[in-house]
Structure 1
Amino acid sequence: MFRVLFFLNCLVLSQLVVYGQSDMELDSLKFQIEAPESRSKVEVLNRLSFLLREQNITESYEYATFAEQLAISEGDSINLGRAKANLGWIFYRTGVWDKAFRYSRDAFLISFRIKDKQGMAMSLNNLGVIYYKQKNYQEAIKKFREAYQIGFEIEDPYVIIRSFNNLALNFLATNELDSAYNYAYRALEINDKYNSVYYNSFIYRVIGDIQAAKGSIDDALATYDFALLTDTHHRLESFEASILNRKGKAYRLLGQFEMAAEYLEKSKEISIIKNYQEELANSYKNLALTYEALNKLDLAFHNQMAYNKLSELLEEKVNKDRLALISAMFEVEKTDAELRYLRAENDFKELQIKSFKTYNNIYVFGTLILGILFIWLFALHKKTKSINLALVINQNKVNQQKEELEKQSKDLERSNKLKNRLFSILGHDLKAPVAQLQGVLGLMNDNSLSREEFNEISYVLKRNVDGLFVTLDNILSWSRAQMDGFKLHLRPTSCLSTINQCIELLQQHASGKGLEFNVNVGKETKVWVDHDLFQIILRNLISNAIKYSKKNSFIDVFALEEEDCVIIKVKDYGMGMSKEMLDQIRNQKFSLMESSKGTDNERGTGLGVNLCKEFTNMMGGTIHFESARNIGTTVTLKFRKVMLVEDSQEIHPRKYLV
């Protein structure tokens, strides 16, 4: 109980901080109207209108109207679109749906034309709410989805949260409760991620409505209480009245009629004082049912009559507003169609006139120029031929120099990337394991680490040191291969022996992840390779298979002998690679890629795969990668096969066929 109270107190305090910050921002913006320095006046007016449109709608309207006029006079399309979006919302809040639609649609068109994605998202949410009020839920859902996609593009949590919450409302209205629940909780997750409390209260109210629709009345009551407690939306009394109404209905459904009547009377009182007609109608309706259940028939009759009268007025108003909205939509679409037709017709006529003038001018001047050019070209024909020949020769030289410069530039860019990546490996991937080992040895030297504690971290240290060894060996092997005078020492090499050596070196890492090896390689299978490079290739491939394998899975290593070659496969059943990464590995000759973390957060350098490709090619072999996400990776090697020539003790590699 103490923890719950502590949490609620912290939540209230955090909201007070938010209110304080909001008030401070309002004061600062109002001051900037008189003496704007860092921000334009129209931008300040739009921000003030946005912050006040749920708190003081009259003042918000004044700021938005002023911002619209100022934006028009300054030719500021961005702020004109945002001012119209604010006005669209204000008209929606005041029930003037036709103007709300006109302003919101104009705002969207302006923002779309200038590619102001934040303005587009605001306008789409406005239009979606208007379609919601018109009960055109499919169109509303379409608008909200477009809005949250833009919100993700521009990383605007306000747009995402608002869109998700509106989607939850629409799916609740269509009785798609699972979808409504999903979007409400996604809104809550984004809210928590960005530490925002602006929409907490509305989100919890929607979740409560979903729970009530599913029949979880007790859960809905708890959620309504939490919504009322977290009411951060400028402490709107309309929100309080709606929550009290919902709680009263929930208690009525539970059969606690006295409690239901108490909450519904409070909601009715607030709604009468503040003239919240929709909430008042709901209060009358639920009170009539509640008093009927309590056998207070006079009160039930009184509330039912009040509900009937008020619902008739509201229905009449809604119908008028809906007709006005439909008329506005029709007029806008009709006007837009006429304008598009007139503009197209005017553009076509202008194009015809311009084309005629252009062709006429071209004909007159072209005739004169052609006559002059004919005389001039005839006189300079011989000289032009010699000049052209010289130009061709010089152009060829320039092209050759250009190609050489481009090649040198690419080589230099590649060298810089390799240098930077190698420095990164030396500075981080090699330093980190040594620093860990140094720290542990220091603790042991000071007797600050017990044997049990050391045993707990020894596996991680061993894995990191093994990784350090592999990284150092890779870097040294690659550096040696780049040196002048490097020679391959090709000789018959046992596949099984080399594979067993690599597995033995990496066995502790594999055992730590519960991995088992399935090795199916013939004892007599030999390939014609450089033993050291062959060992580096297999060690890197098996190390990668361990790194990206899921715990308690298998790694298959097997060899197939064909007439001219030996095929070696290393297969894991781990996290696999994306198609983009696989294409990069297959197509690029050499690139130090950023290595992704393994399934146990193992780190890599991105050098191993490149070494495998380069060393395999150096020894006349081929390497092929196959992979799929969450299925695994298979690496296929092909090397020349070693065979004894009949009636001879001499060993020869068979000719390798790719």
Structure 2
Amino acid sequence: MKVTYLLFILFSFSTNFRAAAQDLSSEEERTINQLSKLRYNYPDSALSLIEDKIQESKKKKTVFLAELLFLKSAIQYIQSDYLASRNTYEELYSLSTELHNEIGIARALNGSGLIYLGRELYEEALKEFEKALEINRKIGDQRNIATNLFNIGICYQELGKWQEAFNSYKESYKISDRNNLATYALMDMNRIGMLFIEKNQLDSAEYYLLKVYESKPNQWEKSYNLSGLTELEIKKGNYNKAIEYGLKSFQIAENIGAKWDASEAAQKLSKAYEGSNSFKKALEFHKLHKAYSDSLLNEEMNREINWAELKQAKAENEQLKIQKDLLSSDKDRNQLIIALLSSLVLFLVILALLYRRHIRQKEKYNQNLGTINRQLAEKKIQIEKQNEDLKQLNNAKNRLFSILSHDLRSPINSVKQLLDIRKSISEVDTEKFMDRLTTEVGNVNHQINRLLKWANTQMDGFKTNPKSIQLDKIIDENLNSIKYIAQEKAIELQHNPSNSFVYIDQEQLHIIINNLLNNSIKYTPKGGCIEINYSEDDKSVFLSIEDNGIGMDKYTLSSLKGDLNERSFSRKGTDKEIGTGLGMLLVKQFLTFNHSNIEIESEEGKGTRFILTFPKATEDI
């Protein structure tokens, strides 16, 4: 689920400074109020005025300076200048610690958490928000407690921890309702409603979303609420009602410039119109969704650049610190030599004493030299470790590119097959052909978006992020993406679903299932059959994918069961389909990464059976 970041950013930054007002003069309080009003409509002007005030106030470290730094960091974050915003938050944290200003410390921690959240580093963001929450609970700041709980709920929701997210939103709602924080309470109810949609508990979702809808929320929250109601009605099959809500959500999102909300509303409208058989309107809103998605992708690239600059700046700061330490060491050594020479001139007659002192100084120098040598050795070890990390990152990148290129072949081949037969169909079948082509293009777009989103999480190194997954739903999604390929070969797909949950990385599971199903179709002749069954015990879930295809000889089967990092031998399929051997390599590696395994039973001329064993999930959420 994509996070509507702008909502909680404005939510967090909208917190006023009344808790610190007693530490400000009336003139300072008036200045902060005026700058706060300017920051949303005229951020550049507000930032310039804040910089001037900071320069005037830097000689005195006061709460007023902390308030100026807070406004400055907030504007920099809204403008996506994460490098500058992070530096300002660190300055705010340092100043607030020196002033023993707990409000400023909590704000700095919350801001740091937002930067991590914007980078989808949810574990790191959660730690910062929890530190801020602890401080706000201590000082009894109810408004900021509600803010921190809301942001913590978002982190848990993105991490797939449904119950923890629900508890955080619920507590935030109770505090907001008790303290007449109406906007905060509506945001919490909206999030709770969306949680219930994820759990497919539609009655509960409808209760919370309609409660927000009837409360007349602000335009930001109304757009998000209507988008949720649109998704709810689509799940219920009420497509006309979904279109009504979706159009309102899309209009509001466009009016307030909320690109992500507009993109989501357009996508849901496309789905609703498709459900009501209004394919022309569905295509129109699909194009709008694509346009907004491209724009958001460009903005995401800019954020990636800012984050890279932040990392580079940190590295440069570390290098400057090392250089400063070395210069300081040289200065100390020079001063020591001067002292020795001065002593030699002044106390020439006391040669014995001078000699004794010289010996002592030499020992001290050798100790310092030993310390420096140890430091250099430690630096060498650190550099070697960094080189090894870079090597691992490079290997992860190569694996990532292989996965992307391999897994995009199947959906693109489906579209190519449809385009190859377009000249041979009659005018009567043209509409069916276009419907089918639209569905396949949608499947391609969905798979590409899913793979790119997963690839983004792997940019800093190859990682496995297991969570509880309903296995038969993943099978259904992959069967849907290959059904037209199976139809071209008149292959029957028999799926006997079971409500089984496994603990595994979701995207890696998609890649495993997609490769095995495509292999079964590839080596099953026309008119064949592929059957999918499930079983389980207390600790494991077993998945069987069996076909009545051409099977494998002993050499081919031995190749498949070979080394974990070795590609297997690839044969041509029953329709002369070609392969690379990469698919089964990825299957074996990803199963190993997720503490799962595969058994292969095959007999030449009779078919093949894959038996996969997955860890059973302990919670069905």
Q: TM-score, normalised by structure 1?
A: 0.45
Please identify the structure whose Cα radius of gyration is greater.
1
